[in-house]
């Protein structure tokens, strides 16, 4: 016997969407709205369901999130146990949530429901990441072959320097204009991430590809979106959600492999930036403890290596190894700048990060933005030819050593000029800060 003709079509929404008077896509297994919130999804018997929003009705424009919205959104995004949870990167529901960050992609339809703060994998939606043409499906982040040219343990103790200065350390005398410049730049990193317009320039684009996105960073890029357009009075709830995830990240970081540890380091830094610049936790004691934890995370991440073995041998490394090493260095430099902002806020001195001496300055725009392995390897071959003695080091942007003679000073300036020919916005920012602070 056939089912009644309208028995299914009249059931417009699941029980939860019907109660909330929200649009329900009636996706098999669990609708999108319930999946985002980690809620069970059930349908009332035919004829018993309350009226939901019909498929052809217009939905409301996106509105600021209230405190209940924040807590509901966090339910489906925060991990419930350890790092052994499924990643949710293949369209599966997991403790990290099945939502994926929008990145630079913006919806063409401006009528977006309040709950649609993240895009959820949908078999009917085309894959926005071209993989085969770019060869990104072949990226392999195992066996990276990295080494350390510095003593990374000094990174974890940096917070002590402002209270127990090491003899001979040089104080960085930031002009007020440079402190304000760093503040505005770092604030823009937090804002672009919260709004889903992209990622900070210390996160490589390959790290955001769904198949390669690691859980700590995946959760972060989704979770900070709850801080966009908050209603007055909701900041406390958003702060609690972020701080809880930061505690979870720090407690679990000893169980991560090198690539997950990089993602955790980057995520923890993003959370800290959002707390300070977006949620206004300027004098929050939690943030001071978070900086200590962040420096410990930076130390642990750096132990896996900051330089490719092939880089040291003046040879072309594997693209994957270079991406991890460059992302680590950029994240380190950003953390040091953020540390200087927090110290200035507290009226404490900032010391030159001499423990980073010898690390490569940020790479060229063409290397960092290369979209294919062939493009990157070709660009790196040109880089090796242009820099036979090795690329610019971060300490070459610091004050000129007093024992450097005139030819040495000229050579150093020429190397900086050559480096500036192809830097991206991150390199330009580093140069602006160091040049206006140290001269040269």
Tell me how far CA of residue 259 lies from CA of 64, 179, 206, 304, in angstroms: 34, 32, 12, 9
Between 37 and 365, the more confident residue is 365
User: For the whole model, what pTM was predicted?
Assistant: 0.71
Q: Count of CB atoms within 10 A of residue 19's CB? A: 12
Looking up residue 41, the CATH number of its domain turns out to be 4.10.240.10
Q: Is there a domain that residue 27 lies in?
A: yes
Residue with tokens 């007093």: 402
Q: What is the mean pLDDT of residues 308-333?
A: 95
SS3 letters for 58-119?
A: CCCCCCCECHHHHHHHHHCCCCCCCCCCCCCCCCCCCCCCCCECCCCCCCCCCCCCCCCCCE
Tell me how far CA of residue 400 lies from CA of 269, 311, 319, 340, 428, in angstroms: 30, 25, 33, 21, 19
Which domain range does residue 177 map to? 141-355
Q: Is there a domain that residue 234 lies in?
A: yes
Report how many domains make up the chain.
2
Statement to judge: residues 281 and 154 lie in one domain: yes
Tell me how far CA of residue 16 lies from CA of 13, 42, 49, 66, 378, in angstroms: 8, 8, 10, 18, 54
Categorize the per-residue pLDDT at 165 as very low, low, confident or very high, splitting at 50, 70 and 90: low
Statement to judge: residues 176 and 280 lie in one domain: yes
Q: Does residue 189 contact residue 253 with C-beta atoms inside 8 Å?
A: no
Statement to judge: residues 160 and 44 lie in one domain: no
> Cα(322)–Cα(310) distance, rounded to whole angstroms?
9
Residue 128 has pLDDT above 90, yes or no: no
Identify the domain boundary among 355, 380, 401: 355
Identify the domain boundary among 296, 325, 355: 355
- Which letter does DSSP use for residue 275 in this model? I
Statement to judge: residues 44 and 158 lie in one domain: no
Q: Is there a domain that residue 301 lies in?
A: yes
Q: For residue 328, give the nearest of 419, 251, 265 by alpha carbon.
A: 265
Between 17 and 221, the more confident residue is 221
Q: Is there a domain that residue 7 lies in?
A: yes
Residue 82 class from Cβ within 10 Å (0-12 exposed, 13-18 middle, 19+ buried)? exposed
Statement to judge: residues 266 and 150 lie in one domain: yes
Statement to judge: residues 148 and 28 lie in one domain: no
Q: Is there a domain that residue 121 lies in?
A: no
Statement to judge: residues 203 and 341 lie in one domain: yes
Q: Is there a domain that residue 67 lies in?
A: no
Q: What SS3 state is found at 171?
A: strand
Residues 6+ apart with CB under 8 A from 5: none
Per cent of the chain over pLDDT 70 is 72
Amino acid 410: pLDDT: 94
Statement to judge: residues 188 and 287 lie in one domain: yes
Q: Is there a domain that residue 316 lies in?
A: yes
Residue 321 has pLDDT above 80, yes or no: yes
Statement to judge: residues 165 and 49 lie in one domain: no
Between 12 and 291, the more confident residue is 291
Residue 28 has pLDDT above 70, yes or no: yes
Q: Is there a domain that residue 190 lies in?
A: yes
Categorize the per-residue pLDDT at 71 as very low, low, confident or very high, splitting at 50, 70 and 90: low
Identify the domain boundary among 298, 320, 355: 355
């Amino acid at each position: 016997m056939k089912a009644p003709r309208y028995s299914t079509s009249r059931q417009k929404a699941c029980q939860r969407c019907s109660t909330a008077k929200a649009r329900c896509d009636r996706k098999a297994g669990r609708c999108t709205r319930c999946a985002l919130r980690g809620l069970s999804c059930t349908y009332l018997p035919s004829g018993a369901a309350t009226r939901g929003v019909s498929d052809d009705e217009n939905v409301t424009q996106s509105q600021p999130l209230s405190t209940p919205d924040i807590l509901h959104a966090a339910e489906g995004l925060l991990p419930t146990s350890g790092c052994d949870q499924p990643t949710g990167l293949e369209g599966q529901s997991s403790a990290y949530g099945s939502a994926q960050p929008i990145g630079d992609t913006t919806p063409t339809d401006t009528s977006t429901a309040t709950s649609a703060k993240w895009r959820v994998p949908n078999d009917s939606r085309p894959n926005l990441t071209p993989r085969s043409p770019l060869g990104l499906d072949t990226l392999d982040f195992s066996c990276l072959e990295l080494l350390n040219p510095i003593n990374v343990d000094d990174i974890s103790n940096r917070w002590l320097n402002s209270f127990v200065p090491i003899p001979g350390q040089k104080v960085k005398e930031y002009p007020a204009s440079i402190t304000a410049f760093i503040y505005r730049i770092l604030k823009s990193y937090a804002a672009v991430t919260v709004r889903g317009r992209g990622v900070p320039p210390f996160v490589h684009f390959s790290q955001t590809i769904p198949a390669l996105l690691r859980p700590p960073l995946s959760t972060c890029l989704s979770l900070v979106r709850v801080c966009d357009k908050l209603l007055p009075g909701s900041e406390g709830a958003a702060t609690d959600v972020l701080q809880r995830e930061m505690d979870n990240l720090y407690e679990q970081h000893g169980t991560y492999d090198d690539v997950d540890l990089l993602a955790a380091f980057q995520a923890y830094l993003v959370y800290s930036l959002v707390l300070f610049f977006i949620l206004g936790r300027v004098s929050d004691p939690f943030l001071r403890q978070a900086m200590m934890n962040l420096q410990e995370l930076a130390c642990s991440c750096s132990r896996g290596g900051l330089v490719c073995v092939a880089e040291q041998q003046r040879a072309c490394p594997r693209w994957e190894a270079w991406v991890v090493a460059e992302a680590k260095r950029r994240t380190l430099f950003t953390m040091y700048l953020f540390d200087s902002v927090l110290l200035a806020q507290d009226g404490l001195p900032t010391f030159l990060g001499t423990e980073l001496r010898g690390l490569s300055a940020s790479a060229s725009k063409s290397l960092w933005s290369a979209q294919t392995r062939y493009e990157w390897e070709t660009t790196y071959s040109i880089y090796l030819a242009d820099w036979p003695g090795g690329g610019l080091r971060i300490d070459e942007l610091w004050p000129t050593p007093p024992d450097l003679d005139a030819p040495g000073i000229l050579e150093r300036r020429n190397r900086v000029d050559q480096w500036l020919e192809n830097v991206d916005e991150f390199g330009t920012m580093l140069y602006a800060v160091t040049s206006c602070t140290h001269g040269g």
